[in-house]
Amino acid sequence: MAYVATRGGERAIEQSQRLYRAEMGAITPERVAETRRALPYLIDRLMGEASLYDEDLAALALAQTGGELYEAVLLLRAWRTTQPRLQVADPVTQDSLLTHRRISAAFKDIPGGQILGPTLDYSHRILETAVLSGETHSPDPVTPADTPAPAQHPSVAAWQADNDLLTAPEPDRTTGNDIPDVTREPLLFPAKRAHTLQSLARAETGGVLALGYAAQRGYGQAHPTVNELRLGEAEIQVRHPRGTMFSAGRVKISTAEVVSKQGAELGLGFSATLGWNEVKVIAAATLDLNADGAEKGSPTEEEFFLYHTEGVESSGFCNHFKLPHYVTFQSSLDAMRDAKAKKAQQTRTPEPAE
């Protein structure tokens, strides 16, 4: 009954994985390198959701899964979780970021200036079909500006705080291992501020967008204005065991501040993530902006959006419904049939009238 089936099950698993990969062919170092070079924004999105900054591993995960994003994130998360934690880097402040792009919708111009930077926002979305008939599409080279924009900028919220338009959040002086880490301790509610921001940073982009969009459409109390959206690079400063600080390199990050009028002041929502992913940080900052005082069970309540934008969990759970559930189904059938029989019996022998 089961001997053959057991081995059969294992063979089926093996073959199903071969089938999945059959069309993709070999995963070569060249393929990984080309994936990394050709798809930087996909790599960024993946690194953010995996909360692991390593472009090569992210490219490998994409190559290995054929671009099945949920699978790729899970591969990276499972790898990440077993890695030793050597150091906690120094805090990064907004005004220390090496800024590539910085725009504000709140003001026509801002101290330090608007920097359009790399974006497809104003592109015309037309497919370069000529490539498919054999032509090469080479982007025109960038012409550098006469005077380069300054590399560092203060945040717009800092200017507003100086001008009594908003109350700047109390700076959190926690450092090192004392910073609560959502990957090493359970998320409880009301969530620690660090846990909220970390969870949003590694949330699934589509999920954050869906709930952030719901809030923007009116299921939230606050209508966001993008105070500042920034794409930049952050210097990772760590301490050598000898005591000296040194840079371990730079990582690409995205940050968003959104504001809305709350009485005589501006309310502030914030989000940051690894990699360049604008939609995610704007949507996440919108959720953050709306979280305060949100009704229990509404899409802008912290517990609601943090649970439901966790991509590894939501995709895993959704997929698990493919697993057999015939025991639970059998158990329900038993109750249903019995209830039906009871009902039939009742209609046959009606209660005598008083």
Partner 1 sequence: MAHPLPSVPETRSNATFDALMWALSRPGLIRTLPEPGMDGLIDALIDSECRVHTDDETLARQIARTGAEAVPIAAADHVFLTAFPDAAPLDHLSLGSDLYPETGATLILPARIGSGSRLRLTGPGVDGEESLRIDGLPANFWTRRRALIRYPMGFELFLIDGTSVVGLPRSTEVELL
Partner 2 sequence: MSLKSLTRDWEPMSYGFLDASAKREIRRKMLKAIAVPGCQMPYASREVPMARGWGTGGLQISCTLLNPKTKVKVIDQGADDSVNAASIRRFLARVSGAPTTLDTLEADLIQSRHRIPEEKLRDNQVLVLQVPNPEPLRPVQPNMSIARQMHADADYGRMWLQLYEQILRAGRVMQGASYPSLVNGRFVMTPSPIPRWDVPKLHMAKHLTILSAGREKRLHAVPPFTRVEPLVFDDVPYRVEEHGALTCTRSGARGFFMNEIPQDDGSSAFEISDSEYGVKTLRQRDGEAVTFGDTWYKHGEMAQ
Shortest CB 297 distance to partner 1, Å: 20
Binding partner of residue 177 among partner 1, partner 2, none, CB cut-off 5 to 8 Å per kind: partner 1
Contact 232, 255 (CB under 8 A): yes
Shortest CB 195 distance to partner 1, Å: 14
Q: Could you tell me which stretch among 28-36, 118-126, 228-236, 240-248 binds partner 2 (CB under 8 A)?
A: 240-248
Partners of 231 in the β-ladder: 101, 254
The tokens for 82 are: 């077993």
Closer Cβ to partner 2, 41 or 189, answer by number:
189
Please report, as residue ranges, which positions from 169 to 188 form the binding site for partner 2 (by CB under 8 A): 182-188
Helix/strand number for the chain, H first, E second: 12, 4
Closer Cβ to partner 1, 88 or 210, answer by number:
88
Q: Could you tell me which stretch among 112-120, 221-229, 282-290, 320-328 binds partner 2 (CB under 8 A)?
A: 320-328
Q: Under the criterion CB under 8 A, does residue 167 sit at the interface with partner 2?
A: no
Alpha helices in 215-301 (DSSP H): 278-291
Q: Under the criterion CB under 8 A, does residue 350 sit at the interface with partner 2?
A: no
Partners of 230 in the β-ladder: 102, 255
DSSP state of 219: I
Q: Under the criterion CB under 8 A, does residue 184 sit at the interface with partner 1?
A: yes
Please report, as residue ranges, which positions from 283 to 302 form the binding site for partner 2 (by CB under 8 A): 296-297
Shortest CB 183 distance to partner 1, Å: 12
Contact 202, 48 (CB under 8 A): yes
Give 261's Cβ-side CA count (13 Å radius). Answer: 3
Alpha-carbon gap, residue 109 to 121, rounded angstroms: 19
Q: Under the criterion CB under 8 A, does residue 185 sit at the interface with partner 1?
A: yes
Q: Which amino acid is at 245?
A: M
Q: What is the separation, in whole angstroms, between the first and last Cα of the chain?
A: 59
Closer Cβ to partner 2, 87 or 114, answer by number:
87
Alpha-carbon gap, residue 252 to 154, rounded angstroms: 18
Of residues 94, 127, 136, the one with CA closest to residue 229: 94
Please report, as residue ranges, which positions from 64 to 93 form the binding site for partner 2 (by CB under 8 A): 74-75, 77-78, 80-82, 84, 86-87
| Residue 278 CB neighbour total at 10 angstroms | 18
Shortest CB 246 distance to partner 2, Å: 10
Binding partner of residue 330 among partner 1, partner 2, none, CB cut-off 5 to 8 Å per kind: partner 2
Contact 114, 104 (CB under 8 A): yes
Q: How many residues bind partner 2 (CB under 8 A)?
A: 63
Shortest CB 314 distance to partner 2, Å: 8
Alpha-carbon gap, residue 290 to 287, rounded angstroms: 5
Contact 230, 282 (CB under 8 A): no
Q: Under the criterion CB under 8 A, does residue 177 sit at the interface with partner 1?
A: yes
Footprint on this chain of partner 2 (rule: CB under 8 A)? 1-3, 5-6, 8-10, 12-13, 74-75, 77-78, 80-82, 84, 86-87, 182-190, 240-242, 296-297, 303, 307, 312-313, 315-320, 323-336, 338-339, 342-343, 346
Footprint on this chain of partner 1 (rule: CB under 8 A)? 177, 184-185
